[in-house]
Amino acid sequence: MVSARKDLFVPTSVLLRSLQAATLITLAGAALAQAPASIEDQIERIQNGLLRPVAIKGEPFPTLKLADEMAKMHVPGVSVAVIHGGKIEWARGFGVRSIGGAAVKPDTLFQAASISKPVTALAVLRFVESGRINLDADVNQYLKSWQVPGNSFTQTTKVTVRELLTHTAGLTVHGFAGYASTTPLPSLLQVLNGEKPANSDAIRVDVKPGTVWRYSGGGYVVLQQMLEDLSGEPFPKLMHDTVLVPIRMAHSTYEQPLPKSRMAEVALPYRGDGKPLEGGPHTYPEMAPAGLWTTPSDLARYALEVQRALAGTSKLVLSKAMVQQMLTPGLNDWGLGPELGGSSEHRYFTHGGGNEGYRCQLVAYNQGDGVVIMTNGDGGGAVAGEMLRSVAHEYGWPDFQPKLHSISKVDPKIFDSFAGQYQSEFGLFTVTREGDELFVQLAGRPKIRLYPESDREYFLTAADATVTFEVDSQGKTDQLTYHEPGNNLPAKRVAIK
């Protein structure tokens, strides 16, 4: 999940490339098998035609090259698997597992981060189908080693398994930072209670269960403890036997830390400045929400099994009826594990992930296509977003393509009334006119051009965002509002020219 709202602008200036990043210019594409020429052409168009989030109506889409974006964002490696026609149509690695190291291949391991959650959900729902769990029962009925502490919020409304799966249980702790290789690891009970050496707060109910949606990795730690208590097995073995083996996720494991014998398969993690994460991959004892090691092809097999079960052609893990429940939207369009979206004709399930040094994205339509993108850099989120748009455009998906805006003719003299500084809770916006163009800059960020859709409505092409200038009773511009999907950030004028 992306937390609000410190990174308001996607950088547009091309960064100086280090000698390390130059390694990325040669994309070491490696496929499981040589794809047909037509598919090779598609892959070529996708990797050389990454798309920005916004385009202007009537103008060609501005395209970016994957190699350039990886270098700019200091992402050494990217791995992609595309689902089409009910199968994995192609899988390919780009770049390198580590600077100066071997090429990324389709079977290179990445941390799935929060995409661990919807895979974990399959095991929970398997227990539901077997009658060992009731989705709407008090989860404390199934917990033996630990109990959700009671308080005023749980006196009349208990935490249920359904609420844990859908982030509506009122539990704290959004996500987890993991543990460096030199850091002591906490037990699961220490994580639940926020006791040292745990580096996260105690997982507690602080909102009445079932009343609000709030993303909680902490809720999935509770599910991890529940599954271990019910099965009497370590979580990695439970997931291996219940989910990973049945749907042939052969390269995947929830083992934390990853066995040393498998480290040669790993894409090593990198920070946003291009430096390797000190000590290598972090360890996540919070396995259910963040601990899956996998490949895009294996996650595509997860998506394919969900699609096939929904169609009634497979029940390797869950029945059609259970998958229908899983993909029924609740609060904030969340299902039992994945986030849900799309139109009634083209529904999809999705989840993103962000561990230290890893960023990834999974999108799959209920019937049809899908893609999994995994990267080994903190800057990989932007690259994955561009790749997703490129795949969506190539395959003609109804979603995830650039948003189209129209430019209106506006007298540039109007821009003079907007020029000035505007204070927001995240910093100072500076608006300037340069010739016949208007620009906005948030403190410490690059200057970005604003394009007019009307006298007071403007859009960016670097991000799916707009800026509205508002006037007071005397007709003077006194505020701007920065709009992103799901977020509005007002800024009051502090200097008028």
Instruction: Find all residues with CB under 8 Å of 75, minimum gap 6, and list them.
Output: 24, 69, 95, 270, 375, 376, 377, 379, 380, 383
Tokens of 84: 């089409």
Distance CA 403, CA 397 (A): 13
Phi, psi at 6, each rounded to 5°: -90, -25
Phi, psi at 269, each rounded to 5°: -85, 145
How many Cα neighbours within 13 Å face the side chain of 15?
A: 20
Instruction: Find all residues with CB under 8 Å of 35, minimum gap 6, and list them.
Output: 43, 90
Q: Does domain 110-395 have CATH number 3.40.710.10?
A: yes
How is the chain split into domains, by residue range?
110-395, 406-496
Query: What pLDDT is recorded for position 462?
Result: 83
Query: What pLDDT is recorded for position 332?
Result: 95
Q: What is the third-level CATH fold of 406-496? A: Lipocalin (2.40.128)
Distance CA 338, CA 333 (A): 9
Give, as one character, the DSSP assignment of residue 455.
S
In tens digits, the chain (497 residues) has pLDDT values of: 333 333 333 332 222 233 233 333 333 333 334 556 799 999 999 999 999 999 999 888 889 999 999 999 999 999 999 999 999 999 999 999 999 999 999 999 999 999 999 999 999 999 999 999 999 999 999 999 999 999 999 999 999 999 999 999 999 999 999 999 999 999 999 999 999 999 999 999 999 999 999 999 999 999 999 999 999 999 999 999 999 999 999 999 999 999 999 999 999 999 999 999 999 999 999 999 999 999 999 999 999 999 999 999 999 999 999 999 999 999 999 999 999 999 999 999 999 999 999 999 999 999 989 999 999 999 999 999 999 999 999 999 999 999 999 999 999 999 999 999 999 998 999 999 999 999 999 888 889 999 999 999 999 998 899 999 998 888 789 999 999 887 899 999 995 54
Give, as one character, the DSSP assignment of residue 141.
G
Helix, strand, coil distribution of the chain in percent, nearest 5: 30, 25, 45
Three-state DSSP state, 428: strand
Instruction: Find all residues with CB under 8 Å of 28, minimum gap 6, and list them.
Output: 93, 94, 95, 96, 103, 104
- Distances from the Cα of 410 to the Cα of 213, 414, 457, angstroms: 41, 7, 11
Element (H, E) at 458: strand 457-459
